[in-house]
Amino acid sequence: MVFQWHGDTFSRLPEDAVCLSEGDARAHQALICKESVFGFQFHWESTRETIENLVNHCGDEMVPGDVVQSAEEILPHPEYILQCNERMDMFRAQLPKMWKARI
């Protein structure tokens, strides 16, 4: 489970890019390009405060649909935020190892 807040996406991967993750909301959720550039279509850095601020200040963007949850569905799940933050930390912890392996 990841947090997304955008309507923008793309239909074609950049040249030399590989899709790492796909989802129902957007086809290309994560990608790597040229073995060193990462792109993400989700926000794993979110906190309850940032999500609450988005809901309070940009809630009009939450148009009901198949992949859009209401504020009532998003906010009561701190475990999703914790899970995303933990995975972000795991990814960031691997970056020095990945760079060192390339040298």
Structure tokens at 58: 């940009």
pTM here is 0.76
Confidence of residue 63 (pLDDT cuts 50, 70, 90): confident
Structure tokens at 27: 């086809």
Q: With contact defined as beta carbons under 8 Å apart, do 13 and 27 qualify?
A: no
Structure tokens at 67: 């992949």
Residue 36 pLDDT > 90: no
Segment holding 17, helix H or strand E: strand 17-21
Length of the chain: 103
Per-residue pLDDT averaged across 46-62, rounded? 91
3 state DSSP class of 53? helix
Give CA–CA dist 40/56, Å, rounded.
24
Confidence of residue 28 (pLDDT cuts 50, 70, 90): confident
Confidence of residue 89 (pLDDT cuts 50, 70, 90): very high
